[in-house]
Amino acid sequence: MAKAERLRAVADGVWAAETGLTFFGLPISSRMTVLRLPSGLWVHSPVPLELVRDELDDLGEVAWRVAPNLMHHLYQLPYQEAYPASRLVAPEGLAAKRPELRIDVPLSAPPAEWRNHLASCAVAGNPTLDETVFLHRPSRTLILTDLAVHMGPWNHWGVRLYARLNRCYGRLALSYALKAMFKDRLAARRSIEEILGWEFDRIIPAHGPVIETGGKDALRSAFDWLLGQ
């Protein structure tokens, strides 16, 4: 399992923390992203609260908690209990999976308070994930979850083998399983084209190291199988 990484600065008003988890028996990493918005802290795909509680509280008040797709919701309940005034923004379908979570705002209707600092795109054509991608405009940072992953020599040998077999090693890419989740490829392509029209250079993926520069080219390459159709 990947070693836990405490909250660290990525850019002005942007922080990230990483922890390890097991996915189908393979040790992988998962990353939380925190943004400072005028309305408070924005916490995307949280890691275990005990890893970051003190540092998070030092940054300010948690105003928003984001479950960006139907898979990344594991640690939301402790944050809901610790920050009861914060609002959870999540896919509407998450209510059936996690009835104990209070979903305050659907991802399909992002809050007006985000408008000047965040752009969002619900990626169509993939109901299994139902993922929304975000752009932090001030830092030109794209925030991904499971839409594409960044696997390479930093991973456990089993993950490296998996990535090589799936032709997604050493770059931002999708495994065969992730590609198969796209049921409406035309709709998905339109979403990816919209995202590629944004102004960004950095990508913070949930799985794999931060891509500090060249992010737009990396995303376009990850979806060359879709954009060429």
Per-residue pLDDT of the chain (229 residues; tens, 9 = 90+): 344 567 999 999 999 998 876 666 776 678 999 999 999 999 999 999 999 999 999 999 999 999 999 988 989 999 999 999 999 999 999 999 999 999 999 999 999 999 899 999 999 999 999 999 999 999 999 999 989 988 878 877 877 887 788 788 888 999 888 899 999 999 999 999 999 999 999 999 998 889 999 999 999 999 999 998 5
The range of the structural domain enclosing residue 217 comes to: 5-109+117-227
Report the chain's C-alpha Rg in angstroms.
Answer: 17
Number of domains observed in the structure of the chain: 1
Q: What is the pLDDT of residue 21?
A: 66
The helix/strand/coil state of 109 is coil
Give yes or no for a contact between 62 and 40, defined as CB atoms under 8 angstroms apart: yes
Q: What is the pLDDT of residue 1?
A: 39
Q: What is the pLDDT of residue 2?
A: 42
Cα separation of 211 and 204, whole Å?
A: 6
Q: What six digits make up the tokens of 78?
A: 């402790």
**SS percent in the chain: helix, strand, coil, step 5:** 30, 30, 40
Residue found by looking up tokens 């189908």 in the block: 24
Give yes or no for a contact between 39 and 32, defined as CB atoms under 8 angstroms apart: no
Give yes or no for a contact between 43 and 66, defined as CB atoms under 8 angstroms apart: yes
Q: What six digits make up the tokens of 101?
A: 């979570």
Cα separation of 146 and 28, whole Å?
A: 12
pTM of the model: 0.91
Nearest to 32 by CA among 61, 72, 85, 1: 72
Residue found by looking up tokens 């640690």 in the block: 75
Cα separation of 76 and 221, whole Å?
A: 32
**Given phi > 0 = left and psi -120 to 50 = alpha, else beta, which region is 184?**
beta
CATH number at residue 207: 3.60.15.10
Q: What is the pLDDT of residue 160?
A: 82
Cα separation of 12 and 34, whole Å?
A: 11
